[in-house]
Amino acid sequence: MAKDPYQYFRVEARELLDGLTQGILALEKGDAGRELIARLLRFAHTLKGAARVVKQGEVAELAHAMEEILAPRRGAAGPVPADEVTRLLGLVDACGERLKPVLTPPEQTSPPVGPTAPPTGPAIPPAGPVESITNLRVEVAEVDAILYELADAASRLDRLEQDVAGLARAEAALDALSGAAEARAALREHGRSLRAGLDRARHDLDRARDRVGGLRLLPASELFAPLGRIVRDTAEALNKRVAFEATGGEYRLDAHVLLALRDALLQVARNGVAHGIEAGPTRTAAGKPPEGRVRLRVFKRGGRVHFAVEDDGRGIDLAAIRRVVTDRRLAAPAEAETLGMAAAVQLLFEGGFSTAPAVSEVMGRGVGLDVVRATVTRLKGDVDLRSEPGRGTTVEIAVPVSLESVDVLAVAADEWAGLVPFDAVHRTVRVKEADLVHSATGTTLYFGGEAVPFRTLAEVVGGARPIAGAGAWTAIVFRARGGVVAVGVDRLDGVRTVVVRPLPALCGSVPLVGGTALDPAGDPQLVLDPAALAAAVRTGAGRATAPAPLRPLPVLVVDDSLTTRMLEQSILETAGYEVDLASSGEEGLEKARRNRYAAFVVDVEMPGMTGFELLEQFRADPELRGTPAILVTSRVSPDDRRRGELVGARAHIAKGDFDGGHLLRTIRQLTRGAAP
């Protein structure tokens, strides 16, 4: 698959050129206020820095020329002269002309159709691609708001349907009375009309909800480019030849799900190249082609989309895992020798467990699959690892299409009623007290040939009654990470589709709860988190959970340029670092005060708080002054470098000479033992 180095720059450059054009036209109309001049300077500077990062030097120089025209106007009063406006528009046009090959995605490039000679008469700017007119950028938050309003409308329709059912009961009561034929006929006709109207409204509402919900879905192919890049870069760093293939890009998922899944899949793909694919001579000796293969298959099964990352490498080295278990005294040598593949896979999903012979930029300290598992759990999904020695490894992640609109099973326990995502339910069975086994380690249910941990929902959510002697329940059997569990409820109230809303911010994080949804009466009901529910059942049944693993500190990247942020994130994550992003100095300061980081990578020219001012804030804070800060900026004059040193910068990297290896070496030197 061809690499697309301009994936993020393309989006950013279009927005910056549009913003510059609109602002310069406003200047031409006489609107030369300080705010507009500052905004145009910021756009030009951001375009200059982003262009330099992707090696578009001519565009960077043109953007710098815009800065030269605008800078003297920063504090000047009065209109901007017409010749300067003309020059600015000419520079924007020149940027657009030089970026034509970049701004058109590779798949849209096609030869011109028809005559190429320019038409006579006035010059008319060519129309942009159709997608720029028919495809609009929509904020996911706005789509969410519409979905919530549609859910409210659906709840009101549910209530009306209940009223119609009451009307039918009234009609039946009239049938029992004599001499009420005319009233019955009128009531029946009114009921038919009301029902027909409700049916039409329900149909239209469901169709609108489906179409609006579809707006927040993105194709899985959005992940193909970053995955192809991570495979390519990791292979190059390890001097391996690896091809990347991907299928199933047409399947669509919730934007929130796809974005969170991206990081997990990048980690899996990186592991496949680093730990799975052998070096060329080793592959040849084993009868394999010298070029390895990492393949992503996306497919849908039921209400979930599956992402299977397969490599044709050496597979899980069970002997190496046994050696690490013995060396770290996790088990006696004799016990370690009996370790099977299933137990080995569980160890690999624990933090801090690695078979890499040495730590490097690619070979980490065992941080990887534990992060994958945590991400998938947060997405209400499942992850599975299968391996065949000498043949390769497959990591398969299954996630719901959407975290918003889901099918749920309504359940009740004692006086508590709530909802459980239906795709997490394996099956339901009727359970009597005689079917349960009580012991010091908890209560279990014998199901499917194995002892399954069992607790009642009333126990889990609080206010429980003792299980022993309580009678009978309907048990919901979940297949969750770590095995099978069963939860007893008093009754099931059917399956329905709901829009899940997050809990209000004031609630904070509530154990076991994944969100809320409205019932037919318009009242909120809690939607349980299946993974958390299963963990609570296992814990209550005497199954201790492992402590959270220690993880290296992440790196915070602060830059207002999307292109620069994404490029630096890709470089750092390829080397095994976890990365947080901030698009402004204010956001960077807020994140730095809330979390701990191994290093800060900061731009200088940003809207609001500059990079120099941000570093001054870091230096004034006793908790932050010890964290090394690196400036990556277009400002590289001796004065700029001296000012950077004065405010605490430990290194100064020029965007014009940007090199990923230099950035990695700098961070590794400054953080010493903190690197992955």
Per DSSP, 276 falls in state I
Q: Is 494 helix (H, G, I), strand (E, B) or coil?
A: strand
Give the lowest-confidence range in 191-195, 337-341, 430-434.
191-195
Helix H, strand E, coil C: the string for 504-542 is CHHHCCCCCEEEEEECCCCCEEEEECHHHHHHHHHHHCC
pLDDT at 612: 92
Give the lowest-confidence range in 124-138, 166-180, 342-356, 504-518.
124-138
pLDDT at 635: 83
Average per-residue pLDDT for the chain:
76
pLDDT at 115: 35
pLDDT in tens, 8-19: 787 788 888 888
Over residues 260-282, the mean pLDDT reads: 89
pLDDT band at 365 (very low <50, low <70, confident <90, very high): very low
pLDDT band at 248 (very low <50, low <70, confident <90, very high): very high
Over residues 320-346, the mean pLDDT reads: 77
> What fold characterizes domain 7-111?
Four Helix Bundle (Hemerythrin (Met), subunit A) (1.20.120)
Over residues 510-535, the mean pLDDT reads: 76
Q: How far apart are CA 240 and CA 200, in angstroms?
A: 61
> What fold characterizes domain 555-674?
Rossmann fold (3.40.50)
Q: What percent of the chain is predicted at pLDDT more than 90?
A: 15
pLDDT in tens, 469-491: 557 888 888 876 556 788 888 88
Give the lowest-confidence range in 158-172, 488-502, 556-570.
158-172
Check whether 556 has a pLDDT greater than 90: yes
Helix (H) or strand (E) holding 488: strand 483-489
Alpha helices in 502-633 (DSSP H): 530-540, 562-574, 585-594, 611-620
> Of the spans 92-101, 337-346, 347-356, 419-428, which averages the highest pLDDT?
92-101
Q: How far apart are CA 120 and CA 39, in angstroms?
A: 38
Task: State pTM to two decimals.
Answer: 0.45
Check whether 673 has a pLDDT greater than 60: no
pLDDT at 4: 67
Give the lowest-confidence range in 329-338, 416-425, 457-466.
457-466
CA angle 395, 349, 428 (to 5 degrees): 75
Q: Check residues 671 and 286 and name the one with the higher pLDDT.
A: 286
CB-neighbour burial class of residue 250 (10 A; exposed 0-12, middle 13-18, buried 19+) = exposed
Give the contacts of 574 (CB within 8 A, at least 6 positions apart).
230, 233, 234, 237, 270, 362
pLDDT at 123: 35
> What fold characterizes domain 219-400?
Heat Shock Protein 90 (3.30.565)
Q: Is 407 helix (H, G, I), strand (E, B) or coil?
A: strand
Both tokens of 287, joined, read: 């009868």
Check whether 432 has a pLDDT greater than 90: no
Give Cα 609 to chain centroid, integer Å.
28
Both tokens of 202, joined, read: 């329900």
pLDDT at 674: 46
pLDDT at 183: 67
pLDDT band at 86 (very low <50, low <70, confident <90, very high): confident
CB 91 within 8 A of CB 67: no
List, edge to edge, every strand of the sheet that includes 416-421. 491-499, 405-413, 416-421, 524-528, 513-518
Q: Check residues 52 and 504 and name the one with the higher pLDDT.
A: 52
Give the contacts of 446 (CB within 8 A, at least 6 positions apart).
435, 437, 452
pLDDT in tens, 606-636: 888 999 999 999 988 888 988 999 998 888 8
Nearest one of 251, 311, 304 to 276, comparing CA atoms: 311
Which long-range contacts (C-beta less than 8 Å, at least 24 apart) are formed by 137-141?
138/215, 140/216, 140/255, 140/256
Check whether 178 has a pLDDT greater than 80: no
List, edge to edge, every strand of the sheet that includes 555-558. 579-582, 555-558, 599-602, 629-633, 651-654
Q: Check residues 639 and 133 and name the one with the higher pLDDT.
A: 639
Check whether 134 has a pLDDT greater than 80: no
Check whether 70 has a pLDDT greater than 80: yes
Give the lowest-confidence range in 74-83, 438-447, 581-590.
438-447
Give the lowest-confidence range in 44-48, 113-117, 518-522, 599-603.
113-117
Over residues 24-31, the mean pLDDT reads: 75
Check whether 227 has a pLDDT greater than 90: no
Q: Check residues 366 and 291 and name the one with the higher pLDDT.
A: 291
Check whether 50 has a pLDDT greater than 60: yes
Domain ranges of the chain: 7-111, 141-215, 219-400, 405-540, 555-674
